[in-house]
Amino acid sequence: MSKLDAKIPEGPLAQKWTNYKDHQKLVNPANKRKLDVIVVGTGLAGGAAAASLGEMGFNVKNFTIQDSPRRAHSIAAQGGINAAKNYPNDGDSVYRLFYDTIKGGDYRAREANVYRLAEVSNSIIDQCVAQGVPFAREYGGLLDNRSFGGAQVSRTFYAKGQTGQQLLLGAYQALMRQVNAGTVKMYTRTELVDIVIVDGKARGIIARDLVTGELTRHFGHAVVLATGGYGNTFFLSTNAMGSNGSAAIKAFHKGAMFANPCYAQIHPTCIPVHGEFQSKLTLMSESLRNDGRIWVPKKKEDAEAIRAGKLKPTQIAEEDRDYYLERRYPAFGNLVPRDVASRAAKERCDAGFGVNSTGLAVYLDFKSAIERLGKNVIKARYGNLFQMYEKIVDEDPYETPMMIYPAIHYTMGGLWVDYELQTNIPGLFAAGEANFSDHGANRLGASALMQGLADGYFVLPYTIQNYLADEIRTPRMTTNEKEFVDTEKAVKARFDKLLSIKGERSVDSIHKELGLVMWDFVGMGRTKESLEKAIKRIAEIKKEFWSNVRIPGSNDGMNVELEKASRLADFIEIGNLMAHDGLNREESCGGHFREEYQTEEGEALRQDDKFAYVGCWKYEGEDKAPALVKEDLVYESVKMVQRNYK
Amino acid sequence: MENTINLTLKVWRQNGPKDKGRFETYKVENISTDSSFLEMMDILNEQLIKENKEPVAFDHDCREGICGMCSLYINGRPHGPDDDVTTCQLHMRKFKDGETVTIEPWRAAAFPVIKDLMVDRTAFDKIIAAGGYVSVSTGGVPDANAIPIPKVDADEAMDAASCIGCGACVAACKNSSAMLFVSAKVSQLALLPQGRVEAKARAKAMIAKMDELGFGGCTNTGACEVECPKGVSITNIARLNRQYLAARFSE
């Protein structure tokens, strides 16, 4: 395949989705009962899709690696969810939400998909309220909104600082209602370990019971992957420990395209790494940059003394502080975009001015704000965040500056899907963060929840019918078919191989090595040299992994190290893809920053004449470089311009 | 300079639900007091792997106190010796150098041990499946602002809804009662007009399921509220009892 067809419906942008729905094929109720749909993942996209498909009458099998569908990592989203309701009457509209998302994504998303996302955003809020999601309200009893980055309107709905939790519990409850009704069968603590393809179509999965170690075969007329992002390739990220990219890699190995793997979002304000055994990074809300000033010591010896614990930040005189964002970006100061703030922090730390015992942190200081506004105002604005920081770091941010550092947060890339959320393998769909489609090269705040639920409640349940309508004559297959047996055999051989290595190194130690390579060479600032080096180093890590990993225990029964090893093997493949994609994309856009391509002010410099396409990667075989296939991005409504944050 | 401590760990090891289980003693050294408790467990496991032994199985995922996956009964307290935190948010500065730390799984008949410190909490999912939802399907719902909800009710519903389903309330309760968990969901939905329609039936169905699954009754000791990492209040239990009584009277 050399050309990818996104199957974008005809007609003007605002009519495409309506036209599609008016003309798509449907499945009648009697036939729905005869069709099996496998949904992998129970987050906002997977949980919402499984519940909705169950309500419609399909037979749904829903898989999760956790002990309950309610644990999916969507639960950790704090800020909110965008929708074009225009309740505050501040000029919002579907078009404006669409435009902001396209622009925020640095003109690398597909217009038709983004417009549909903006269009269904309002239905999501209605749906969640009907489910009993306790959104924040004003005294008049109506819904409250707040502002988020990249927009001039207040369109973000929220439930305290736990919006993701409340939306996920809404989807989870809808899902459990279907479990009770018998339309959805839940498989908890069960992991997809491969996808079964029969005559070119996705027909099922091989799963591993994480408690017994048993491999099981499952048939589906269609398979939906809603398995989240691959940020944990970097080992340290804001993702949950179990978040992984394995389902996407299994699909990739079976011929599905992996799109824009190099687009990863690095969030500037996370609690920094404290030591070698750090397992994860915690996000501190971006809103803190409204009142906090970011700095490092001006003198190297001060930074060294701080790292050695001989000096406190409060002892550094005002003239010895380098407010580097205010210095480098006087117009925007501490409120530069996420990518710029992240890169600038890394630059200072790499130059030896970082603080914390590791040298990998900068200060976020509220002293001026407290002097200007008083402690009570700051407390009212950020009290809960300050408390959370204090629990983790054991320092009072009212008295001493916070320490922060950037961390990998979200991956915009993912499995290539067409307008129907179908990958290039018929019958294999991808939803939520697992697909690539809506955020372009950079995602705006409060848009991940919107996209997950849009895909799960309002897009996939429609588009999947257009495929399933042609499957009503396909009887349920027994899983004794050759393709199931062979796929299971290959999976077993892979696990046996992993267990037979019996090397010297733990899974985590190799994963940390991969993470450092990714961070140093495929991180915030990339160059041709760094990416070439990454490809070489990742190949070495792959060799080391497959010859020297140590996995205690066996395949019979629970074996957490084996699970981790299997996922790490796939993260190594993803790291390689990210580096290849980054190397190919000789431009800077959104979260992908090639140091060779920047404006004089250090802003991302796109090359629209050469790279206005989706970079899709095709698997060419073990240890072979992946092949590039392009989907051209054709903009009909919006003009591509240089993003301007000045 | 960062402080480090040495600890003796008494860790519950159990091969599966049928295994009898026993405590094993391990030593961990030079643990940074800035580490989280689960990072200390990671270090222990790294040590065990090096010695070619099987690492300790424990549940965890988000490591920021919201997914509800982590558990652990540490020195006799669910989620350990700090208030309003989950085990993943507990830090080693709460322990003293040389201390012996006892680590056990949740102990409740309704939460059988899967392996070591991991327990099976699917009973909670079954309780939610029995009625912990509003019976609406996707689409065809009114505009989100069609029904105003008093802010005080919305806020109270949010407080109840902050339950993370970790099971600390059951582990803390001498009767292994799930009343705080059940009452949090019943309260959240009963406080909102969308959920009020089914409020009585929901309370009845969820309580019946809870009893069926082997959770004990509530004797108002209040231990659940003390150990709840999200501060869910036992006033929710009072509200649940009202809903339940109303449901029984209207039979």
Taking an 8 Å cut-off on Cβ atoms, the answer to whether B54 and A553 are in contact is yes
What is the strand order of the sheet B4-13 is part of? Answer: B22-32, B4-13, B100-104, B73-74, B77-78
The CATH number of whichever domain residue A318 belongs to comes to 3.90.700.10
The CATH number of whichever domain residue A111 belongs to comes to 3.50.50.60
Q: Chain A residue closest to B166 (CA)?
A: A71
Q: Do A382 and A429 lie in a common domain? A: no
* In-domain check, residue A644: no
* In-domain check, residue A476: no
* In-domain check, residue A615: no
Q: Specify the amino acid at residue A344.
A: A
Residues 6+ apart with CB under 8 A from A468: A27, A35, A37, A58, A221, A222
The CATH number of whichever domain residue A496 belongs to comes to 1.20.58.100
- At A82 the pLDDT is 95
Helix/strand/coil for A132: coil
Q: Do A273 and A325 lie in a common domain? A: yes
**pLDDT tier at B177 (50, 70, 90 boundaries)?**
very high
Q: Chain B residue closest to A456 (CA)?
A: B138
> Could you say which of A338, A585, A594, A606 is catalytic?
A338
The per-residue b/e assignment along B157-189, b for 16 or more CB within 10 angstroms, e otherwise, is: bbbbbbbbbbbbbbbbbeebbbbbbbbbbbbbb
- At A386 the pLDDT is 87
Residues of chain A with pLDDT under 50: 1
User: A314-321 long-range CB contacts below 8 Å, 24 or more apart?
Assistant: A314/A399, A314/A400, A314/A401, A321/A295, A321/A296, A321/A297
Q: Is B221 exposed, middle or buried (0-12, 13-18, 19+ CB in 10 A)?
A: middle
The answer to whether A338 is a known catalytic residue is yes
Q: Which two tokens stand for residue A45?
A: 């996209």
Helix/strand/coil for B249: helix
* In-domain check, residue A631: no
DSSP H or E run through A616: strand A613-618
Number of domains in chain A: 3
What is the rounded average pLDDT of the residues B127-140?
Answer: 97
Q: Do A458 and A533 lie in a common domain? A: no
- At A229 the pLDDT is 98
Q: Do A452 and A514 lie in a common domain? A: no
What is the rounded average pLDDT of the residues B228-238?
Answer: 96
Q: Do A21 and A133 lie in a common domain? A: yes
* In-domain check, residue A63: yes
Residues 6+ apart with CB under 8 A from A339: A266, A442, A524, A590, A591, A593, A604
Taking an 8 Å cut-off on Cβ atoms, the answer to whether B137 and A357 are in contact is no
Cα distances from A44 to residues A178, A189, A510, in angstroms, run 16, 18, 31
Question: Is there a contact between A122 and A84 (Cβ–Cβ < 8 Å)?
Answer: yes
pLDDT at B1 over 70: no
Helices B179-191 and B235-249: crossing angle in degrees, nearest 10, is: 70
Return the residue in A60, A127, A129 with the most chain B beta carbons within 10 A, the one to mutate for interface testing: A129
Residues of chain A with Cβ-Cβ distance to B124 below 8 Å are 68
Radius of gyration of chain B measured on its C-alpha atoms: 20
HSE, side-chain direction, 13 A CA sphere, residue A127:
28
Q: Do A451 and A556 lie in a common domain? A: no
Cα distances from A186 to residues A169, A179, A616, B165, B206, in angstroms, run 16, 7, 33, 18, 19
Q: Do A445 and A551 lie in a common domain? A: no
Residues 2-21 of B with CB under 8 A from A: 2, 16
Question: Could you tell me the residue range of the domain that residue A320 belongs to?
Answer: 267-408
Q: Do A33 and A144 lie in a common domain? A: yes
pTM across the whole model = 0.96
Using the Cβ of B129 and the Cβ atoms of chain A, whether some distance falls under 8 Å is answered with yes
HSE, side-chain direction, 13 A CA sphere, residue A129:
27
Q: Chain B residue closest to A78 (CA)?
A: B66
Q: Do A192 and A139 lie in a common domain? A: yes
Select from A86, A81, A80, A106 the least CA-distant residue to A152. A86
Residues of chain A with Cβ-Cβ distance to B129 below 8 Å are 176-177, 179-180
* In-domain check, residue A630: no
* In-domain check, residue A640: no
> Which DSSP string corresponds to A155-176?
-EE-STT-HHHHHHHHHHHHHH
* In-domain check, residue A3: no
- At A644 the pLDDT is 64
The per-residue b/e assignment along A155-178, b for 16 or more CB within 10 angstroms, e otherwise, is: bbbbbbbbbbbbbbbbbbbbbbbb
Q: Do A163 and A42 lie in a common domain? A: yes
Residue finishing a domain among A408, A439, A454: A408
Q: Do A427 and A361 lie in a common domain? A: no
Sketch out chain B's domains with CATH numbers: 4-114 (3.10.20.30), 122-249 (1.10.1060.10)
Residues of chain B with Cβ-Cβ distance to A563 below 8 Å are none
d(CA A245, CA A573): 10
Q: Do A435 and A398 lie in a common domain? A: no
- At A339 the pLDDT is 75
Select from B161, B169, B162 the least CA-distant residue to B65. B162
What is the rounded average pLDDT of the residues B172-201?
Answer: 97
Using the Cβ of B53 and the Cβ atoms of chain A, whether some distance falls under 8 Å is answered with yes
Question: Is there a contact between A460 and A431 (Cβ–Cβ < 8 Å)?
Answer: yes
d(CA B226, CA B242): 22
Cβ–Cβ pairs < 8 A, chains A and B: 218
